Amino acid sequence: MTHWLITLRAILHREALRFTGQRGRFIAALVRPLVWLIVFAAGFRAALGLSITPPYQTYITYETYIVPGLLGMICLFNGMQSSLSLVYDREMGSMRLLLTAPLPRWWLLLCKLLAGTLVSVLQCLVFLAIAVAWGVRFPVMGVLSVLPALVLTGLMLGAVGLMLSSLIRQLENFAGVMNFVIFPMFFMSSALYPLWKMREASPTLATLCGLNPFTHSVELIRFSLYLQPNPSAMGWVLLATLAFGAAAMRGYDPARGMQGKTLKGG
Amino acid sequence: MTGIEISCLGYSYGAKRALDDLNLQVAPGQFCALLGPNGAGKSTLFSLLTRLFVAPEGRILLAGLDLARQPRAAMARLGVVFQQPTLDLDLTVRRNLLYFAALHGIAGRAAEARVTAALDRLGMAERAGEPVRALNGGHRRRMEIARALIHDPAVLLLDEPTVGLDAAARVAITDHVHDLAAQGLTVLWATHLTDEIRDTDRVAVLHRGRLLADSTAADLRGAQSLQTAFLRLTGDEP
């Protein structure tokens, strides 16, 4: 095995061990989407009438509608959290260690993104199992066909987080990013309501939602879960992943990035 | 000379000059203390030596390899102990060491052998399966030093490695690294604590990004204490 693959395997293994070792983090990550699925959806289903739109071929419950959005939510929170934790010194130490490995920096950052994505995908699979137990139905093969969509979504959102972590010099707390990145991304998407509903309320907002890469991630997940292709969403997400990934790599370029926030003392 | 060779190194944060025309050579087997008050430029120098930043001015050679032209080969010859803890507290001692070995492309039996040897040297073989969280500060630091040596580097950088440790642990770690230098390793030890430096050590005094002095500690201090000489040099004497 080459040095590159040895390093990738070690980074993935480390993240998986940390994930399984931190039960609190695992449970907390699942509670959030489950509250939406079980509580929010129950209260909201009466308020929202859903017409039959692809990929659904029949009327569906609201719970069924929001499952892809909640899968996206898991990737969104996890991607932001794992990357933004780099801003704190605790994690910055391990990032410094990673970046001193004698490999190209882009590869090390890609390994880091893949490790965060692995955790997101594991959380999504557990969430899907609970959703099935809750009565949500989708094709059995959907569990497999949704995997590439989840990986791509995880990479894209991890890249957004990585880019932010290279830009933000001081992060007082996670709340700032919640307010300015996570909430707008989540609520201005098709995660909780279809865009045609949004368009009825405000065409401008619907247009903005259409430009939000997270909307396309959710749609890619939705279509993949029901074994249907969605080339436009796939194209958007791929493009956004490349763009955010390039920005993150630029942010961590040793000739430019990581300045200011890492320097303390002498 | 094949240890550390720094020539004409400069670095600025915007208008603020952090390092200015720095020249420093550390030979193999030498323990060089990089002494400087807070804000002297030590952390910037370490960031440049570990390639966290790339130096726009000057040149750095590590074990004879140009950090700008052969970054991967140069970094492979470098061991680093950072000021911030970089151990994963929830993973075991062994797992932490194996992770680092893998970052340097060492896996399988070779990694197991090196990790076992490192643990034996530390006298921590029986604690290999414990999470790092269970170790005290001194043990964690020793472990980080052992980890930095797993890939057999030629150069060892330590950035204020005794911060937060008690007196006994500080002495033990300082002695340990002096022993490593005596065995042929090139050591650059950043500190602002003069009691960690022996008379025979090389001392490079960094202040406001410039090298103020570069000699043995004995020559630098003369008849006074190193602390007094240091404060006099940096203009911070009471």
Please state the length of chain B: 238
Give the closest of B102, B107, B192 to A266, CB-based: B192
CATH number at residue B173: 3.40.50.300
Mean pLDDT taken over chain A: 85
Among the three residues B152, B171, B196, which one is the final residue of a domain in this structure?
B152
Verify that B63 and B3 share a domain, yes or no: yes
Helix-helix angle A231-251:A105-133, to 10 degrees: 140
Question: What is the pLDDT, as a whole number, of residue A215?
Answer: 97
Residue in A with minimal Cα distance to B50: A100
The model's pLDDT over B220-235, given as tens digits with 9 standing for 90+, comes to 988 899 999 988 888 7
- Judge contact between A227 and A140, C-beta under 8 A: no
Residue type (1 letter), B233: L
Q: How confident is the model at residue A46 (pLDDT cuts 50, 70, 90)?
A: low
- Residues B163, B183: Cα–Cα separation, whole Å: 25
Q: Which domain holds residue B212?
A: 1-77+153-238
Above 70 in pLDDT, residue A49? no
Verify that B30 and B123 share a domain, yes or no: no
Give φ, ψ of A198 to 5 degrees: -65, -40
Verify that B48 and B162 share a domain, yes or no: yes
Among the three residues B152, B182, B198, which one is the final residue of a domain in this structure?
B152
- Judge contact between B203 and B190, C-beta under 8 A: no
Residues of chain B with pLDDT under 50: none
Residues of chain A contacting B37 with CB distance shorter than 8 Å: 266
Among the three residues B112, B133, B152, which one is the final residue of a domain in this structure?
B152
- Residues A131, A125: Cα–Cα separation, whole Å: 10
Question: What is the pLDDT, as a whole number, of residue B56?
Answer: 87
Q: Is the pTM here over 0.95, yes or no? A: no
Residue B83 lies in a domain: no
Q: How confident is the model at residue A263 (pLDDT cuts 50, 70, 90)?
A: very low
- Residues B178, B33: Cα–Cα separation, whole Å: 11
Residues of chain B contacting A18 with CB distance shorter than 8 Å: 88, 90-91
Query: What ipTM does the predicted assembly reach?
Result: 0.87
**Cβ separation B53–A9 shorter than 8 A:** no
Q: How many Cβ atoms are within 10 Å of B46's Cβ, its own excluded? A: 24
Q: What is the average pLDDT across A230-248?
A: 95
Question: What is the pLDDT, as a whole number, of residue A92?
Answer: 65
Q: Give kind and range of the element (H or E) at residue A19.
A: helix A3-21
DSSP 3-state of A168: coil
Cis peptide before B56 (omega within 30 of 0): no
Residues of chain B contacting A93 with CB distance shorter than 8 Å: 82, 84-86
Residue B163 lies in a domain: yes
**Cβ separation B37–A262 shorter than 8 A:** no
Q: How confident is the model at residue A164 (pLDDT cuts 50, 70, 90)?
A: confident
Question: What is the pLDDT, as a whole number, of residue B219?
Answer: 94
Above 60 in pLDDT, residue A101? yes
Q: How confident is the model at residue A262 (pLDDT cuts 50, 70, 90)?
A: very low
Domain count for chain B = 2
pLDDT higher for A35 or A178? A35
Distance set, CA B68 to CA B1, B27, B57, B156 (Å)? 18, 20, 11, 19
